Structure 1
């Protein structure tokens, strides 16, 4: 519980910046993964993948399950899943145990007021970065499109 409180305070600073847009510089921010381990995102990242719905989460999982365990690290990418719309009891009893079975790290957003990442219904949001600056934002709906982003 203390971890989540500390993380919330850190993340509030990021939220005040508003939604990320092209040419914005990402500031360092931290999120917990499915094992409650805190990860700090820095300018070294070149791709951010964000999902907001179970359908898009499953699409990314289908893609990443066919890749090596270090695929995201090797491609300087992170995967973020916004689970804020799920009731806490469902998250704790079903969602987190399922996410812990995945062989890769999934950073999680628990806060409903998070507006840092843009979303479109039934789409995966990807951010392409260079030296910490957002160069492109894509809303994708297929594994083939995701593969092109991560090449």
Structure 2
């Protein structure tokens, strides 16, 4: 009879530890993705063309402040990690977006100004704790210099 109560106690401690760990400063929240050419389609072509060496910026606020920046690798992959204590703006990702600037000649279709923006979407676990960020649907806007 002690087994079910012990199992319940262990499960509760596991949940509490997970919640506590998610709130600890220094636990980074990831945001990652792959940059592909906007003129390709998985539905029609079955493949997609990745874009290496594209600049990816995380910009926030009305003044478009760049919080972090990186360049895609040879597979078109970018990765960011955010410490919520150091970057509190990402508590509200609606104020932030990803701006991808394509290298010249990387795609057949070049968006106006060569820039694609993606909203940042926060994903929470079943306990309501932020676990990751993902990019939303792209929009094409001119690059503001």
TM bucket (normalised to shorter chain) is under 0.3
More helix by share: 1
Ranked by relative contact order (alpha carbons within 8 Å, sequence separation 6 or more), the top structure is 1
More strand by share: 2
TM-score, length of structure 1 as denominator length: 0.20
TM-score by length of 2: 0.21
